[in-house]
């Protein structure tokens, strides 16, 4: 990151914008925690609170630039909803493909979880939608887009994929070989989600894919979601004692070799795809 704050066009350099956004998110997060502790409002915690912080920081940053919040890829309308739904189906399909590969290699078998019904599935969907929205605002929103604008797509991709991986670094189960596999796959997923934005210039596809991926793994198939095992799936995987690099173990499919293979193919496909940018924008 250049030590000069202003570029040749008289604008703040993208590296400083990214750093400023991160500091603003941390400050707003502390403020929200203070409000929660003094008011006792329990809803001011969790992923939807994180989404609120991300929206607040993004609004402040784009207003300082004289741009609108919609310029970050929140374009209301039928197209946005369709792309979000397409992303959700794609994320679900990717998770199913990986799970079936692991199952085909005798990694596990499923048992139906009779206590999990529609209510639990919808509760999991609501929680994971908040996770997806908050993380996409943070990692494919303002900082990613400004790095892409100022330094090029691959600087934005690699920087934000690294940050995306780093925030998962302390998740449950992140040790030893599992940490290595999970870090590689989370980085690949970060790049895949970055391409989802670059090819559409909208956050609809990455938000949807992120949501479908998480919900399929946790609420539907019963695997861990990035090490988080609090979700009760409609089906429960019973592992057969195969190595964790094959199954992902309690961390979830994101720590498995099949995940690396499938995500690599998906990244290559998105890289080759010319895109379908939203009106008034262009893909990269």
On whether residue 35 sits in a domain, the answer given is: no
Contact 199, 266 (CB under 8 A): no
Q: How far is CA 211 from the centre of its chain?
A: 8
**84-103 pLDDT, tens digit each:** 999 999 999 999 999 999 99
pTM of the model: 0.92
On whether residue 26 sits in a domain, the answer given is: no
3-class secondary structure, 245? helix
Within 66-152, residue ranges assigned H as helices are 78-104, 118-139, 142-151
Structure confidence at residue 1 (pLDDT):
47
pLDDT at 19 over 70: yes
On whether residue 235 sits in a domain, the answer given is: yes
On whether residue 250 sits in a domain, the answer given is: yes
On whether residue 188 sits in a domain, the answer given is: yes
Instruction: Give the domain extent around 230.
Output: 76-272
- The count of domains in the chain is 1
Angle CA 95–164–134, to nearest 5: 80
Structure confidence at residue 278 (pLDDT):
66
On whether residue 93 sits in a domain, the answer given is: yes
**145-186 pLDDT, tens digit each:** 999 999 999 999 999 999 999 999 989 889 899 999 999 999
- Look over the chain and give the mean of its residue pLDDT values, rounded to a whole number: 91
pLDDT at 81 over 60: yes
């Amino acid at each position: 990151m250049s030590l000069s704050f202003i570029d040749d066009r008289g604008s703040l350099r993208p590296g400083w914008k990214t750093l400023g956004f991160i500091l603003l998110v941390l400050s707003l997060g502390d403020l929200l925690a203070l409000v929660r502790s003094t008011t006792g409002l329990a809803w001011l915690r969790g992923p939807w609170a994180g989404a609120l912080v991300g929206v607040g920081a993004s609004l402040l940053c784009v207003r300082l630039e004289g741009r609108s919040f919609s310029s970050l890829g929140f374009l209301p309308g039928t197209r946005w909803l369709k792309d979000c739904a397409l992303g959700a189906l794609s994320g679900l399909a990717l998770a199913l493909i990986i799970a079936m590969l692991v199952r085909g290699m005798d990694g596990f078998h499923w048992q139906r979880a009779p206590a999990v019904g529609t209510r639990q599935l919808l509760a999991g969907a609501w929680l994971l939608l908040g996770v997806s929205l908050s993380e996409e605002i943070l990692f494919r929103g303002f900082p990613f887009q400004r790095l892409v604008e100022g330094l090029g797509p691959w600087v934005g991709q690699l920087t934000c994929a690294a940050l995306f991986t780093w925030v998962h670094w302390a998740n449950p189960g992140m040790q030893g070989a599992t940490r290595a596999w999970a870090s590689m796959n989370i980085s690949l997923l970060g790049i895949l989600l970055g391409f989802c934005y670059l090819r559409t210039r909208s956050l609809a596809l990455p938000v949807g894919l992120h949501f479908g991926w998480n919900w399929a793994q946790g609420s539907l198939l019963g695997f861990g979601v990035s090490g988080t095992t609090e979700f009760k799936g409609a089906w429960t995987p019973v592992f057969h004692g195969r190595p964790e690099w094959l199954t992902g173990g309690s961390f979830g499919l994101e720590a498995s070799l099949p995940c690396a293979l499938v995500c690599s193919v998906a990244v290559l496909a998105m890289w080759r795809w010319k895109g379908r940018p939203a009106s008034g924008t262009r893909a990269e």
